[in-house]
Amino acid sequence: MIRNFCTAVLFLGLALAGSAWAADHSNLEEGFPARIEDAYPIDYRALEFMASGIYEHSGEHGRHAGEFEPEIKWGFIKNAHVELSAPLVFPGDGEMKNNGDLVLEGLYNFNVETVELPALAVKTEFMFPTGVDSAGVDVEVTAIATRGFGAHRFHFNGSFRRTGGAEAGEREHTFSFGLGYDHPIDLDHLIVADFFVDRSPLVGGAEEFTFSFGMRKQLNPWSVMTLGMGSGFGASHTPDFRAKLGLQWRF
């Protein structure tokens, strides 16, 4: 199923490559390059294909892991978009839990930035148990705020997650909070940084603290390349190094 999904996404992207939608390298997507996301959806009726590769290392256990994630995003109505993805994980320790889960999310912006208020949005994400060793549907709701001060922009992400297939020793409810910042270097380059605190998914586990930074580069009017790096501390499974390379194509 996952192989068919990835193939369909790739062919859909190639078939639409001649369209004239322009990419926006200042529109922050989760994971491109950092974890923080801004409060703005993609353009109305725009279609965007994204792909990313991740390398992760955990020093405590000497664990290496890789991940590839194809995503497709569609601005189906004004001020909103939907996104479909299926992350494929290649862990060095052989653990395959949740590998290949189908993720459906929708983001709606209900307030553009004004003098009095920041830009505000809410994102809802459903994680269906289509992957290896998965059980139950996970649901996550995220509140997003973006505020600009000249060329400087600041972001807040706050999420609440319910794990539908929680096993013994796992929490059913978790949350995370993140702060982010971005600033343009020139017309084609944007730097991004963030810091997140996550409640451990394990009962009695320590909180996870992660930070990341990176750059978005506009390659041409239709595509953006991103490169991000990060680290963390706290819980034993928190990675001590993480690198991510991403590409986005707007159709």
In the numeric block, the tokens 């020093």 are attached to 59
Strands 88-91 and 80-85: unpaired
Strands 102-111 and 88-91: unpaired
Distances (CA, A) of 78 to 112, 188, 208: 12, 26, 36
Query: What is the structure's pLDDT at 62?
Result: 62
- Token readout for 63 is 């664990």
- What is the amino acid identity at position 31? G
Question: Which parts of the chain fold into alpha helices (H)?
Answer: 2-15
Q: What is the CA radius of gyration of the chain?
A: 18
Residues 6+ apart with CB under 8 A from 62: none
Grade residue 8 by pLDDT with cuts at 50, 70 and 90.
Answer: very low
Is the pLDDT reported for residue 188 higher than 60? yes
Three-point CA angle 185, 189, 191, nearest 5°: 70
Is the pLDDT reported for residue 13 higher than 80? no
| Mean pLDDT of the chain, nearest integer | 87
Arithmetic mean of pLDDT, 29-48: 95
Grade residue 15 by pLDDT with cuts at 50, 70 and 90.
Answer: very low
Query: What is the structure's pLDDT at 92?
Result: 59
The tens digit of pLDDT for each residue in 110-147 reads 999 999 999 999 999 999 988 777 778 999 999 999 99
Structural domains of the chain ordered from first start: 2-16+35-250 (2.40.128.130)
Most confident of 60-64, 128-132, 173-177, 233-237: 173-177
Is the pLDDT reported for residue 14 higher than 90? no
Grade residue 22 by pLDDT with cuts at 50, 70 and 90.
Answer: low
What's the predicted TM-score (pTM) here?
A: 0.86
